[in-house]
């Protein structure tokens, strides 16, 4: 018998305006929980200069290090090559391609907030990422 090849890993793109908070947290959680069974990208329609320090600190509290990450610009190619595009407040700035799955997660923007205010956003993102993994048929790592 010929072995059946594994299907390609689903590709997910997280988009927010500055790619400095919500999309960075979502991408980090998906990468950690999905491992090599998902392809993860994040980008911003108007990227900031750096990831929000309160976001970095809030993620560090749960053992996820995003200190070396940097905001990236949203490109048409990133959208085109993704199976799922999750927007987080970027409005109409995200290109639309038929056949892609688009989700819009309404979450508070952590910009200008302290770590205490970022924690509930972080936790909501983790719950949504776990739900997305389940929808994609990918078992979350412990």
The catalytic residue positions are 16, 90, 94
Any idea what DSSP says for residue 139? P
Which neighbouring-strand residues pair with 122?
none
Residue 71 · residue 90 · CB < 8 Å: no
What is the rounded CA–CA span in Å between residue 71 and residue 101?
Answer: 23
CA 107-108-112 angle, to 5 degrees, is 145
């Amino acid at each position: 018998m010929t072995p059946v090849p594994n299907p390609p890993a689903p590709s997910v793109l997280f988009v927010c305006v500055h790619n400095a908070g919500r999309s960075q947290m979502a991408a980090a959680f998906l990468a950690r929980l999905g491992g090599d069974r998902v392809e993860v990208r994040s980008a911003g329609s108007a990227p900031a200069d750096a990831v929000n320090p309160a976001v970095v600190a809030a993620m560090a509290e749960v053992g996820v290090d995003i200190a070396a990450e940097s905001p990236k610009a949203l490109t048409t190619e990133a959208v085109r090559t993704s199976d799922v595009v999750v927007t987080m407040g970027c409005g109409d700035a995200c290109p639309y391609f038929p056949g892609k799955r688009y989700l819009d997660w309404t979450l508070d923007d952590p910009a200008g907030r302290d770590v205490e205010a970022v924690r509930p956003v972080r936790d909501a993102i983790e719950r949504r990422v776990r739900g997305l993994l389940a929808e994609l048929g990918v078992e979350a790592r412990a």
